[in-house]
Amino acid sequence: MPMDRTTGELLGAATRHSGPRCVALGLVSVAATGAALLLPAALGRALDLLLTHSPATRWVLCCAALALLLTLFDACETVLGGTLDARTTAFLRRRVTGHVLAVGPRATARFGAGDLVARVVGSAAQAGTAPGARAALLAALAGPVGAVAALALIDPWLAVVLLTGAPVLTLLLRSLARDTSACVADYQRAQGRIAAALTEAVGGARTIRAAGTAARDTARILRPLPELSRAGRRMWRVQGRAAAQATAVAPLLHLAVVAVAGLLLTRHRLSPGDVLAASRYAVLATGVGVLVGQLSGLVRSRTAATRLGEVLTEPAPPYGDRRLPREGPGRLELRGVTARRGDRTVLDGVDLVIPGGTTLALVGRSGAGKSLLAALAGRLTDPDAGEVLLDGVPLPALPRAELRAAIAQAFDRPALLGTTIEDTVSLGLASPARVREAARTACADDFVRRLPDGYATPCADAPHSGGEAQRLGLARAFAHGGRLLILDDALSSLDTITERQVTRSVFGRTTTATRLVVAHRASTAARADTVAWLDGGRVRAVGTHEQLWRTAGYRAVFGTAEKAGADAQAGARTEAEAGPEAPR
């Protein structure tokens, strides 16, 4: 069964990761097969001695010892197989999860969050059985081969009779591998689509509840269920058909071997013990049921590994080794940046410069590319053409650690990672004093202190609204500092008073960082040093909010009356004249 290079490398790395356990499982499996091959010979010898009234105690004890060994080997196989599968699954999950995080948002854009979770959880568990399945399959193949050799030692005609059915069994196994692979791939793809739809629905549970569309969305989530059912039934039919065909062939071969052995017994070429041994070896040689099970398991695991390999083929962004100037002001520059999403060009040849230490507000209608431009500025994605520079250094030329230390970002829906509130703000990079200072700047300190354990409150137990979550996300960005601060709609859920307090810090002179703010409110744009107006994937104009407000198209972006814009400008001027006020 062919595998692509990435899948082969992944399974190879997983096998090497648990190399000693794989070797141990292989040795134990082969030893168990060897004991199973010795037992019929020992039983036959003991029978011959008992029929001739000769002492057979030693051979009876030998049979008992072999039976005990088989029991011990079976227990060892169970323990080794279970630990090997768990260890390999953990390795695959770490490998794929690390790659997904390295790729960044592009991974979820290609596969979807739900499908990625299904692959990391389900496919990794299935693929984790591959090394154990390989070792077990080796032993399963050794059994029939050894049984045929044993029959040849008893009498060559017995092996010849058995081998007449070998081509049929080989074709059955080959057909099983091919058909099972296709069925399993269809089954896992349907699982991935259900997981993706379910994840999307869970994220929008409140919207579904408010709209009263639970039944419709349930039907949408379960739409691939018939396909999943068909693939599952087809998979079982394939395996059942293979097992039935093998079961039909195997007894005929077994009967043929026993019949020939009986004929040889009448001619005194075999003893009764040899007939018994030949009968047991014929069962081992035609026992393709074990092979069918092992081969099906290996096919399922390799198909699952292929799904993991698809994730690994998504290239992670490269990083360089250049350094930022030590005293750089944080000047951000976009040169001829073009970015596409599918067949659509979202940004087309954008040129933009943000002088160090200043604030620029990105303004534009929905779909104008504001968030995409912010993502390019923070190197959450790379442009299809052009380049983004920070203090004259292209972002891809920077080492990962220096890039992330230089750029702090906050989003409209921040993910509150970490164990406690303090942990989610610091992410292990900021001191407790720095965390509290950043929380005060983001107006989050008051509500955090009201929590049962303050900053030590577990994130899972901390009730917080959308605005409170945004404030924690802002605090995290403030705590990390850097040359460039990017706020992608990070003020949208704040109430008017809190927004005014936070923007005094963002737009004031309390920080020397360059600030790029995605703005949806005229009041936010009015406080920025400069506004970049995006329209149709291009920068239509750059200037102050007051200058741009004279243009009807710019005013239409906010959907407000001219009076509202004038009030926003007046409020901004009043605050500027009053001077920055330290947030509470």
- In the prediction, which pLDDT does 573 show? 46
* 132/80 Cα distance (integer angstroms): 9
362 near 517, Cβ under 8 Å?
Answer: yes
- In the prediction, which pLDDT does 291 show? 67
3-state SS, residue 431 = coil
- In the prediction, which pLDDT does 539 show? 92
* 320/396 Cα distance (integer angstroms): 6
Pick the CATH number of 332-411+486-578 from 1.20.1070.10, 3.40.50.300, 2.70.70.10, 3.40.30.160: 3.40.50.300
- In the prediction, which pLDDT does 86 show? 92
pLDDT in tens, 324-359: 998 888 999 999 999 988 788 999 999 999 999 899
422 near 457, Cβ under 8 Å?
Answer: no
Helices (H) and strands (E) in the chain, counts: 25, 10
pLDDT in tens, 134-187: 887 777 778 888 888 998 999 999 888 888 876 776 676 666 666 666 777 778
Asked if the 7-312 domain carries CATH number 1.10.10.10, the reply is: no
* C-alpha torsion sign, points 206, 209, 210, 211: positive
Task: Outline which parts of the chain fall under CATH 1.20.1560.10.
Answer: 7-312
With vertex at residue 484, the alpha carbon angle to CA 330 and CA 325, rounded to the nearest 5 degrees, is 35
pTM of the model: 0.74
Query: Quick one: DSSP state of residue 460?
Result: G
Query: Quick one: DSSP state of residue 121?
Result: I
- In the prediction, which pLDDT does 91 show? 94
Task: Outline which parts of the chain fall under CATH 3.40.50.300.
Answer: 332-411+486-578
Question: How does pLDDT run along the chain (584 residues), one tens digit per residue?
Answer: 445 677 888 888 888 888 889 889 888 988 998 999 999 999 999 988 888 888 888 999 999 999 999 999 999 989 999 999 999 999 999 999 999 988 888 888 788 888 888 888 888 988 998 888 888 777 777 888 888 899 899 999 988 888 887 677 667 666 666 666 677 777 877 878 888 788 778 777 777 777 788 888 888 888 888 888 888 888 777 767 766 666 667 777 778 888 988 998 888 899 998 999 998 888 887 766 566 667 777 888 888 888 899 899 988 889 999 999 988 889 999 999 999 887 889 999 999 999 998 999 999 998 889 999 999 999 988 999 999 999 999 999 999 989 988 999 988 888 887 788 888 888 877 888 999 998 888 888 888 888 888 889 888 777 677 788 888 888 898 888 889 999 988 877 777 788 787 887 777 656 678 999 998 888 888 889 999 999 988 999 999 999 999 999 999 998 754 444 444 444 444 444 434 333 32
C-alpha distances (whole Å) from 51 to each of 44, 46, 48, 546 are 11, 9, 5, 111
- In the prediction, which pLDDT does 346 show? 92
- In the prediction, which pLDDT does 347 show? 93
127 near 305, Cβ under 8 Å?
Answer: yes
Q: Which tokens is 388 given? A: 């983004």
Query: Quick one: DSSP state of residue 25?
Result: H
- In the prediction, which pLDDT does 579 show? 42
Q: Which tokens is 53 given? A: 């009234």
* 25/19 Cα distance (integer angstroms): 10
3-state SS, residue 29 = helix
3-state SS, residue 4 = coil
DSSP string spanning 196-258? HHHHHHHHTHHHHHHHT-HHHHHHHHTTTHHHHHHHHHHHHHHHHHHHHHHHHHHHHHHHHHH
